[in-house]
A and B are shown apart, each in its own frame.
Chain A
Amino acid sequence: MDEASSSCAAGAVPAASDRVHEPAVAGDCVFSARGLTKVYRMGEVEVPALRGIDLELTAGELVVLLGPSGSGKSTLLNILGGLDTPTSGEVWYLDHQLTGATEQDLTRFRREHVGFVFQFYNLIPSLTARENVAAVTEIAEAPMRPEEALAMVGLGERLDHFPAQMSGGEQQRVAIARAIAKNPAVLLCDEPTGALDSQTGVVVLEALEKVNQTLGTLTVLITHNAGIAAMANRVIRLSDGHIVDIRANATRKAARELIW
């Protein structure tokens, strides 16, 4: 396996439970996956989506999962985010084993530690920008103020607009603000620019970059757009359920310099 993959030593899963609520320090291993497989059963056909993934993700890094559709990147992200369970293998978040956790535990895990950004923003149409963020901060333990989160993504001026009154890029930035407002350890973004034109996409990526740099949130970004990979610390390429290549960018481009 590539040198860059061993940011944390294999098997060195943190065991001390007192670390659970402490913010992860840059370089600490946040996610650790061993031998992950996922097989979808569709009627009588078994479709393997993941075929043995070993992976560590460390605090503070920005990781791009790159691959064509069907490569398994979304399945991997869903498993990391506690939305799906692997068929075999195990996943650890800090010292919590996600594999085998109950539905309630997974819900709590998402609520306390994970921020999600969706391809289609998925804002609540009946809530304003501020309220969409507040919906999450109300159930979080030590959130930032919604206004703060929105200011960070450059929407300090559009607090009281409803989704229907905002552009796609603005809506996606509200979604990012909503994801980061609870100060999550992890930010998981599934094709966050997939529904946007490149110009707007860049603005959204800038917001993600800023969050990653100022808050040190481990950010995992799915894309099938190789151009975006240049902004990552590490780029993990998947194909057919395997990790084919993990590459660390020696020099990262700023989001604003990306073109696709």
Chain B
Amino acid sequence: MRALDLKLFRDLWGMRGQVLAIAAVIMGGVATLVMSLSTYDSLVITRDRFYRDYRFADAFVNLKRAPESVAARLAAIPGVERVETRVRAGVKLEVEGFSDPITGLLFSLPDGAEPLLNTLHFKRGRWVQPDNADEVVVSDTFADAHRLNPGDKLSAIINGKRKALTIVGVAVSPEYVYQIAPGSMFPDFKRYGVLWMGRNALGAAYGMQGAFNNATLSLIPGTPVQDVIDRVDALLGTYGGTGAYARKDQFSNRFINEELNQLQIMATIFPAIFLGVAAFLLNVVVGRLVALQREQIAILKAFGYSSLAIGGHYVKLVMLVVLLGVAGGVALGAWFGQGLSNVYMETTFRFPYLDYRLEAGVMLIALAVSAVAAVSGTLFAVNRAIRLTPAEGMRAETPALYRTTVFERIGLQRWLTQPSRMILRNIERRPVKSLFTVFGIACACGLMMVGNYQKGAIDFMVDVQFRQASREDLAVTFIEPTGSRALHELQAMPGIRHVEGFRDVPAILRYQHYSYRSAIYGIQPAGELHRSLNAALKPIRIPPDGVVLTDHLAREILHVEPGDMLTIEILEGNRPVRQVPVLGITKQYLGVSAYMQQDSLNALLREGNVVSGAYLALDPGMESAVYAELHERPRVLGMIANAAAIKSFYATIGEFVLFYNMVASLLAGSIGFGVVYNSARLALSERGRELASLRVLGFTHGEIAYILLGELALLTLIAIPLGFLVGVGLCGILVLAFKNDLYRLPLIIEPSNYALGATVVVISALVSGLLVWYRLGRLDLVAVLKTRE
């Protein structure tokens, strides 16, 4: 081995503490990048493969009822490749030993053949046999939540009649990768399930023999989907079609895409911050390391090594550190990535399999960013050292020039001891270095806060949504819109304290060239259960004869302001189109809605006092009795219980929050430690002689530690409030990045989150401080008497 290479390994070994600290920071950055991008890539690849293999449809439509012969006319629409008609039935389900209301969606399967579109991936069991009318396939989430297996029984109330069913298969459908009950805010695997049974059997039970009420289409590649949708709508209008929609508007797919979009943003923002901080740190630290080797560089030059050889030597040294960090980061990132992908698979996306992929490109990006940062810092410092003549380089640097600080010039001097003055002057003399340290620590604090932000934000969203706005214990929907007598019946039931009827109707809202497919909710203007909130989150009264829109829907999607006239295309009955003024804006974090007074909506629909369902407040302790009673009422189609939904939602996100917190703490901690420890170590190498001299003069270990660690403590203290700002800023970026019609994150940061950010910073500073304290105890006092550096 060449002598220079030997020197390289010995130098690395000699500064192993710092090497590890720098590598840790690079590792943090690279791990985040690899984790996010590989999870993103894997989920996208898995999604695409699953959609392709299981023939996920391109367009979807629900209708009231059409004879099977209409299918041929759908297939004849230009650009349509395949059509599959189905019977789709909303049902209530009963699983033994579970008393809460369960709603379900039952689809037909072609008898004796696999579905042409949206076919099923079986986890267990088999397809239904056409002859056995009681056989059913259930979605895996529902089956897993209730521990159901082929051979188990459950019953469904289809069209008001109870039917006993036998499970023969447990499957996943590309159409319901993400499952959420209509009208619900969160997935609830226990209380909502998708099921499939034979076409004949379901047709008979649901009164749809020889007819269909749902169709899915695949298109010939290159066909504009909107053209097909327009033709489908024109064709199915007379059959009660509620408007066809493309794959991009299909709920499960849309949610997956939103989630992937979010992941991609995370995969951009966080690694950018981490790698940015790591690169900056690397640049500065490497520069200072090389600067400390100035004498050695001079000696190498004196020996006759070329500048190129010397530069190459230091680049090699730094690249070894980079490689160490990148290798560790890739390994850690791949591990985290698999963990994160699995958490996604268990909680959110029910893909039947996961193609975990770590693309070489991701690793190259990580390596390139780290390498550029490190090498540029190195070359800058090497270049400065090389420009000196050997003789000059071997001479010690002249003492650094200090000045009295601003604090002292304004007269605070007499309050400061000499060590305190040293601290202040050192900070002021190297403002860039000090700023860098402060900024690095602040980033660690901010990142920690971002890692924890989501939990607090979700708590807040849930509180606003369920304790301020939707305060009902139970939302009941009827099989079809019905007279208000149904409300009196409900009110008379024991256990129901309060009833508020509502009318909802699917509709397309249009303003100029903007449009949005949603529903209009007619609610009670002075309702106590279901309320609209203003920007200050205080309940408002919905005014008559107009519509109140969620802020996001109004401003970001439709671009309307109060006073504008909205065109509403009702997707029910004979699909009337009406003009309605926008009268107000309401604040909502989850979903988007359009609200009217129920009377006004009834009037708009030219109908009497008709309701689609009711919000209920229940007497405490009576929930089960009410569920059981409502379950028996044939006109009640679905029930959504908020408390249960919230609970299941928290169970779902719990794992996420835990995972993110773990990753964030680890990474923020590594940045905090990397910055503080490196600053301390470099300060120690630069000022070791000064401190040892003071020890010789009779300063105690503690007194010299104060000079070095006091500076770091001061910088850390300055960095914490700055870190809070960084944290708020980063959360703000998330808020902007994750604004969509499914949810908007509020910029709410809980005090505990600030505390956590500060704690992580303080702990990493303390650990660094302890390590430096230990090293200060080993200063060579004798050496400073003689040696110059």
Contact = CB atoms under 8 A, between A and B. Distances in A.
Interface of A: 74, 78, 81, 83-84, 104, 107-108, 110-112, 114, 116, 118-120, 122-128, 131-132, 134-136, 138-140, 162-165, 178-179, 190-191
A114 B698 CA distance: 8
11 contacts: A83-B781, A111-B698, A118-B693, A118-B785, A119-B786, A122-B690, A124-B418, A127-B418, A139-B703, A162-B399, A179-B697
A125 B399 CA distance: 6
The residue among B399, B426, B694, B695 with the most chain A CB atoms within 10 A of its own CB is B399
Contact of B690 (A78, A125, A138, A140): A125
B409 interface: no
B399 to A, nearest CB: 4
Given A74-B786, A107-B700, A122 B689 contact: yes
B690 A124 contact: yes
A78 B785 contact: yes
Contacts of A126: 400, 402, 421-422, 425-426, 429
Nearest to B424: A126
B696 interface: yes
Nearest to B690: A124
A150 to B, nearest CB: 15
A107 B698 contact: yes
A145 to B, nearest CB: 14
B784 interface: yes
Contacts of B694: 124, 135
Contacts of A84: 782
B419 interface: yes
A83 B692 CA distance: 11
Contact of B699 (A83, A139, A162, A190): A139
Contacts of A114: 698
B786 A83 contact: no
The residue among A84, A131, A191 with the most chain B CB atoms within 10 A of its own CB is A131
What 7 pairs across the A-B complex have the smallest Cβ distances? A111-B698, A135-B418, A122-B693, A110-B698, A164-B401, A126-B425, A125-B399
A218 B500 CA distance: 100
Nearest to A171: B399
Contact of B698 (A118, A122, A136, A165): A136
A110 B690 contact: no
Chain B, interface size category, equals: 20 to 34
B69 interface: no
Nearest to A133: B418
A140 B698 CA distance: 9
A134 B700 contact: no
Interface string B755-789: 00000000000000000000000000110111110
Contacts of B418: 124, 127, 131-132, 134-135, 138
Nearest to B784: A122
Contacts of B701: 107
Nearest to B777: A103
B695 A162 contact: no
Contacts of A123: 399
A162 B785 contact: no
B425 A178 contact: no
Given A78-B782, A122-B689, A122-B690, A107 B695 contact: yes
B512 interface: no
Interface of B is mostly: helix
Interface string B489-512: 000000000000000000000000
Contacts of A135: 418-419, 694, 697
Contacts of A178: 697
Contacts of B425: 126-127
Nearest to B780: A83
Contacts of A131: 418, 421
A83 B782 contact: yes
B399 A164 contact: yes
A116 B696 contact: yes
B715 to A, nearest CB: 16
Contact of B785 (A74, A112, A127, A164): A74
A78 B696 CA distance: 10
A70 to B, nearest CB: 12
Contacts of A127: 402, 418, 421-422, 425
Contact of B696 (A83, A125, A139): A83
B696 A110 contact: yes
A104 B695 CA distance: 11
Contacts of B429: 126
The residue among A107, A111, A179 with the most chain B CB atoms within 10 A of its own CB is A107
Given A126-B421, A164-B399, 17 more contacts: A74-B785, A83-B785, A107-B700, A107-B701, A111-B697, A111-B699, A114-B698, A118-B784, A119-B786, A122-B784, A123-B399, A124-B690, A124-B694, A125-B399, A135-B418, A136-B697, A191-B786
A179 B697 CA distance: 8
A162 B700 contact: no
Contacts of B784: 118, 122
Interface in B696-746: 696-701, 703
A31 to B, nearest CB: 17
Given A111-B699, A116-B696, A190 B785 contact: yes
Nearest to A191: B786
B786 A190 contact: yes
A84 B689 CA distance: 17
Nearest to A110: B698
B697 to A, nearest CB: 6
B779 to A, nearest CB: 11
B701 to A, nearest CB: 8
Contacts of A191: 786
Contacts of B693: 118, 122, 124
Contact of A119 (B398, B402, B700, B785): B785
B24 to A, nearest CB: 30
A164 B698 contact: no
B782 A164 contact: no
B417 A112 contact: no
A116 B417 contact: no
Contacts of B697: 110-111, 116, 135-136, 178-179
A219 B695 CA distance: 20
A131 B422 CA distance: 10
Contacts of B700: 104, 107, 111
B266 to A, nearest CB: 44
B401 A162 contact: yes
A126 to B, nearest CB: 4
A187 B703 CA distance: 22
A197 to B, nearest CB: 15
A190 B693 CA distance: 13
A162 B690 contact: no
Nearest to A115: B697
B417 to A, nearest CB: 6
Nearest to A163: B399
Contacts of A118: 693, 696, 784-785
A102 to B, nearest CB: 12
Contacts of A138: 417-418
Nearest to B703: A139
Contact of A164 (B400, B689, B695): B400
B703 to A, nearest CB: 7
A104 B698 CA distance: 10
Interface string B412-447: 000001110110011001000000000000000000
The residue among B401, B696, B784 with the most chain A CB atoms within 10 A of its own CB is B696
Interface string B400-412: 1111100000000
Nearest to A165: B401
Contacts of B403: 162
A114 B697 CA distance: 8
A120 to B, nearest CB: 5
A97 to B, nearest CB: 19
Nearest to A114: B698
Contacts of B782: 74, 78, 83-84
A104 B700 CA distance: 8
A107 B140 CA distance: 73
